Amino acid sequence: MEFVTKELRLIPLSVEQFKLMLERFDKMEDALKLKHSKQKLDEETQKAMRELYEKAVAHEDEYVWYTNWQIVLNSENVSIGSACFKGEPDENGVVEIGYGMNEKYRGRGCMTAALKIMLRWAKAMPKVKKVIAVTDNDNAASQKVLENCGMKFDREEGGYQYWSI
In terms of Cα–Cα distance, which of 102, 101, 79 is closest to 145?
Answer: 101
Reported as a pLDDT band with limits 50, 70 and 90, residue 39 is: confident
Residues 5 and 45: their CA atoms lie apart, in Å, by 27
pTM attached to this predicted model: 0.94
What would you report as the CA-atom Rg of the chain, rounded to the nearest whole angstrom? 15
Cβ–Cβ under 8 Å, residues 28 and 72: no
3-164 is a CATH 3.40.630.30 domain = yes
Which tens digits make up the pLDDT trace of 83-140? Answer: 999 999 999 999 999 999 999 999 999 999 999 999 999 999 999 999 999 999 999 9
